[in-house]
Amino acid sequence: MDNIMCGIVGVTGRQDATEILLHGLEKLEYRGYDSAGIFVSAEDGQNYLVKEKGRIADLRQEVGDDVHGSTGIGHTRWATHGVPSRDNAHPHVSEDGRFYLVHNGVIGNFAQLKAEYLADVNFKSETDTEVIVQLIAHFAKEGMDAKAAFKKVLSLVDTSSSYAFLLMDSQAKDHTLYVAKRKSPLLIGVGKDFNVVCSDAMAMLNVTHDFLEIADGEVVTITPASVDIEDAEGNKVERAPFHVDTDASAAEKGAYEFYMLKEIDEQPAVMRTLEQKYFDEAGNILIDQDLRDAINAADRLYIVAAGTSYHAGLVGKELFEKIAGVPTEVHVASEFAYNMPLLSAKPFFIFLTQSGETADSREVLVNVNKLGYPSLTITNVPNSTLSREASYTLLLHAGPEIAVASTKAYTGQIAVEAILAKAMGQDKDLEVAKNFDLTGELTKVANGMQALVDEKGQVEKLAADVLGTTRNAFYIGRGIDYDVALEAALKLKEVSYVQTEGFASGELKHGTIALIEKGTPVIAIITDPKTAAHTRSNVQEVVARGANVISIAAEGLATDKDQIVLPEVHPLLTPLVSVVSGQLLAYYTSKQRGYDVDKPRNLAKSVTVE
Ligand code: G6P
């Protein structure tokens, strides 16, 4: 059984270890999980292992008031091949009770390792992780110290594997934790007389703002007073911590019932922040000339991304081609990774990734780096893996995005793409770029988004009327509206489980219209004067077959039959407003059906395996 997407936390040297671990796990809930556990060791030699299927709240209850100590590790698990259960939850412990391990990733050769070394061991779970902890104990029994045994096991894990390991030796008197990673994310948080470990800085912002990166292949030994990093050859590595500015409260829900609505509502503010971050007072764009020169030297852009970020890439193609005049291809990362198309002579790669950790995108970046091509990561998370490994980074400045369904990162990505496209076009002296008053346009967008979120009550009612009980739905549009139809459809299916297709309006009649029957919801997006009349005819075609239509139209094209009228913005920026209606429809449909909007079933926020 594999364990992926999981969250890891650890602490050494704090009397309140239990609370730090539980709080950290709560902050990692957004990653998606189905069981969780902690192991805590007290000064008096008392050890506590508590695991629970379900939510952290259940684990907290199980922990009660009796679990206390100064060193511990914790984990949220997202099951793949096997059931979520208490036995399969982490931490896993060796048969002799000495070693405790939490793991994020997949061990490709766990079955071989088990057969070769551990035939006599009595296993308690079906996980690959338990094989690793039993194997560490196996080599320790042969006489190796804890670190040597850990390193030995790391050398036996095959190259297809991914992992972030946090190991605790319950016999060590010095509260030592051992850490290693390959592909999966993991950070060390540095404190005074204590240190912590986490998958995401957000989990530990309440105790420290200083973090250390770990590179693949390194082994780190952590005590309350020291962090010792060794490279793969055993040499000592010196590394300065980086500071994370994010305020822990930026990730709080406040008065909102769900993060998704908070994050939808934050989009006007994100647009304004991007204006401030990327333009000086004279209106000059604040993007390094180095990056601008590198990207303008390319003959073709390749945007690589997954999920919602991929959809932001589709809009990016329009922006880069129309404003910067450069041919642009957009690819799904998991497809591109193992099936690279014929590249142009001078390609430039753009990785769009909210988290900066998506394994599918990273796999492409690793190959791109091997081939020596320049690359840019556009991400919300400074110092994330894809940011560190690309030649350049542009940040989304959207603040933490906690809800699994991505909203403000999508609009942030499109805005950053527009800013970059304008910078590129200006450098090439293109009239279209020079005349594009982007600060003015982004202000219009921010105001337009604000008007839409202010009138969310109307969308709430539409969701109840049209999407209340349906099992399926369609979004249709042409051109840039089709790009948004794909994203709006993904939102609706992710959080409300309504099977929704985003479709090119004109293509509907070539087969898929067969699915339209009485009451089928069809949501049409109409913002482009060139294609508005055509899309309206397609709407008539589905109405004639009984569809229940919601039309979302730009102000200048709207009629009094349209249920949602979008504030007027620049034609290339309409996705920034039209998507807000789609996000709100998805949110309310999910909420009305009684689902946990922020944590849809089967999904994870940060997908760290391929
Ligand atoms: C997961 C999330 C999606 C997200 C996708 C890409 O599937 O559930 O919301 O769009 O990963 O994530 P990224 O962090 O690379 O943008």
Domain locations along the chain: 7-249, 256-451, 455-595
- Is any ligand 1 atom within 6 A of the Cβ of residue 385? no
pLDDT at 250: 67
Give 2 Cα–ligand 1 centroid separation in angstroms: 20
Query: DSSP alpha helices (H): ranges in 16-69?
Result: 17-27, 56-63
- Please state the separation of Cα 258 from the chain's center in Å: 17
396: CA distance to ligand 1 center in Å? 15
Q: What is the 3-state secondary structure (H, E, C) of 470-499?
A: CCEEEEEECCHHHHHHHHHHHHHHHHHCCE
Does ligand 1 lie within 6 Å of residue 398's CB atom? no
> If you measure from the C-alpha of residue 106 to the centroid of ligand 1, how many angstroms do you get, rounded to a whole number?
19
Could you tell me if the CB of 313 is within 6 A of ligand 1? no
Atom of ligand 1 nearest to the CA of 355: 14
Per-residue pLDDT at 256: 85
Using the predicted structure, report yes or no on whether residue 525 has a pLDDT greater than 80: yes
Strands 177-182 and 219-223: antiparallel
Please tell me the residue having the least CA distance from ligand 1 atom 5.
307
Ligand 1 geometric centre to CA of 307 (Å): 5
**Gap between the Cα atoms of 311 and 324, Å rounded:** 19
pLDDT at 176 over 90: yes
Best of 380, 605, 608, 609 to mutate for ligand 1, by most ligand atoms within 8 A of CB?
605
Ligand 1 nearest-atom number relative to CA 306:
6
At residue 270, does pLDDT exceed 80?
yes
Q: How far is the CA of 407 from the centre of ligand 1 (A)?
A: 11
Active-site residue set: 6, 605
- What number is the average pLDDT over the span 513-522? 95
pLDDT mean over 556-582: 96
Ligand 1 atom showing the smallest separation from residue 305 Cα: 15
Instruction: Report CA(308)–ligand 1 centroid distance (Å).
Output: 6
Average pLDDT in the 555-569 region?
A: 95
- The gap from C-alpha 76 to its chain's centroid, in whole angstroms, comes to 16
Q: Report pLDDT for 159.
A: 87
Q: Cβ(104) to ligand 1 under 6 A?
A: no
Confidence of residue 66 (pLDDT cuts 50, 70, 90): confident
**How confident is residue 251, by pLDDT bands cut at 50, 70 and 90?**
low
pLDDT confidence bin for 1, thresholds 50/70/90? very low
Average pLDDT, the chain: 93
d(CA 367, CA 135): 32
pLDDT at 610: 74
| pLDDT per position as a tens digit, 129-166 | 999 999 999 999 999 999 999 999 999 999 888 899 99
Q: Are 66 and 80 in contact (CB under 8 A)?
A: no
pLDDT in tens, 76-90: 998 766 688 999 999
Helix (H, G, I), strand (E, B) or coil at 586: helix
Give residue-wise pLDDT tens across range 424-474. Answer: 999 999 999 999 999 999 999 999 999 999 899 999 999 999 999 999 999
Strands of 184-318 (E only): list them.
187-190, 195-198, 210-213, 219-223, 226-230, 236-237, 242-243, 300-305
Q: What whole-number distance in Å separates Cα of residue 43 and Cα of residue 117?
A: 33
Would you say domain 455-595 falls under CATH 3.40.50.10490? yes
- Check pocket membership of 603 for ligand 1, CB cut-off 6 A: yes
How distant, in Å, are the alpha carbons of 56, 183, 200, 549, 608 from that of 104? 17, 10, 12, 44, 8
74 phi/psi in degrees, rounded to 5: -150, 165
Residue 4's pLDDT is 46
- Assess whether pLDDT exceeds 90 at residue 30: no
| Ligand 1 centre distance from Cα of residue 414 (Å) | 15
The DSSP line for 300-339 is EEEEEE-HHHHHHHHHHHHHHHHHS---EEEEEHHHHTTS
> pLDDT tens, 478-504?
999 999 999 999 999 999 999 999 999
Ligand 1: residue whose CA is nearest its atom 1: 605
CA-308 nearest atom, ligand 1: 10
353 ligand 1 Cβ < 6 A: yes
pLDDT score recorded for residue 6 = 83
pTM for the whole structure: 0.77
Q: Which two tokens stand for residue 268?
A: 């006007």
Closest residue by Cα to atom 15, ligand 1, is 353
What fold, for 7-249?
A: Glutamine Phosphoribosylpyrophosphate, subunit 1, domain 1 (3.60.20)
- CATH of the domain spanning 256-451: 3.40.50.10490
Q: What average pLDDT does the segment 539-567 reach?
A: 96
Tell whether ligand 1 has an atom less than 6 A from the beta carbon of residue 406: yes
pLDDT of residue 524: 98
Task: Count Cα neighbours of 339 within 13 Å in the Cβ-side half-sphere.
Answer: 5
574 lines ligand 1 (CB under 6 A): no
Which residue type sits at 538?
N
> Which token pair is 584?
């709100």
**Among 444, 443, 450, which Cα is nearest to 272's?**
443
CATH topology agreement for domains 7-249 and 256-451 = no
Q: Is the CB of 377 under 6 A from ligand 1?
A: no
Q: What number does the ligand 1 atom closest to the CA of 358 have?
A: 15
pLDDT at residue number 451: 93
3-class state of residue 281 by DSSP: coil
Verify whether ligand 1 is closer than 6 Å to residue 384 (CB atom): no
